[in-house]
Amino acid sequence: MQAIIAIYERKKNQRTKPSGIVGSIVKTALTGVDLSTTFVLNWQNIEAQAILSDSITTGPPNPAPLVIRFTNGQISTPHPIYKPPSFTVRINGKDGQAEQVIERGPEEFAFEGGGWHFQADEVARSIRDGKIESELWGWDKSLLEMGVFDEVRKQGGYVLPPGVEKVVE
């Protein structure tokens, strides 16, 4: 989840969990599966907010599905966010207008694979090195992400089928 990388890991945040989570889910009438989901994460301690949404019936937003706005600019990437073909960084001047624009396109930002291989590579490195937790994406981030998803499902009235959340030892 991009909010974990952009806000939770921010040094100023000191890995503080969101102070508030608000979620909304629209379910299909036929199966009850989540059709569209939107949620807002607030970090009051650093005055930051993440607004995330996903839908199985609409395409990615245009012009960019991922925009990280900060005090003096923004970073944006086009679809797909797990393998963006490019990115743009806009740094604003004192007047609020873009003073510096850095763009990297497919010829400068290309990489092999489908994007998800970075996760598989990290798992393989961790296993090879005898680690039970990744230094890049530790348990704290996984537990935070699952906790957010659980809270959004709860608020949206989405219940998983029996046995899905059962832990077997």
Is residue 5 over pLDDT 90? no
Neighbour-count burial of 77, counting CB atoms closer than 10 A to its CB (0-12 exposed, 13-18 middle, 19+ buried): buried
pTM (predicted TM-score): 0.81
Q: How many domains does the chain have?
A: 1
Q: Is residue 6 part of a domain?
A: yes
Where residue 27 sits, what CATH number does that domain have? 3.30.360.10
Torsion of CA 84, 88, 89, 94, to 10 degrees: -150
Tokens encoding 86: 């490019």
* Run of H or E including 74: strand 73-77
Tokens encoding 129: 């090195």
Is residue 102 over pLDDT 80? yes
- Contact of 102 with 88, CB cutoff 8 Å: yes
Q: Is residue 161 part of a domain?
A: no
Q: Is residue 24 part of a domain?
A: yes
Q: Which domain holds residue 101?
A: 2-119+139-156
Residue type, 86: S
Q: Is residue 45 part of a domain?
A: yes
Q: Is residue 164 part of a domain?
A: no
Q: Is residue 126 part of a domain?
A: no
pLDDT for 20-63, tens place per residue?
999 999 999 998 889 999 999 999 999 999 999 888 888 777 76
What whole-number distance in Å separates Cα of residue 160 and Cα of residue 146? 14
Q: Is residue 151 part of a domain?
A: yes
Q: Which residues sit opposite 159 in a β-bridge? A: none
Q: Is residue 129 part of a domain?
A: no
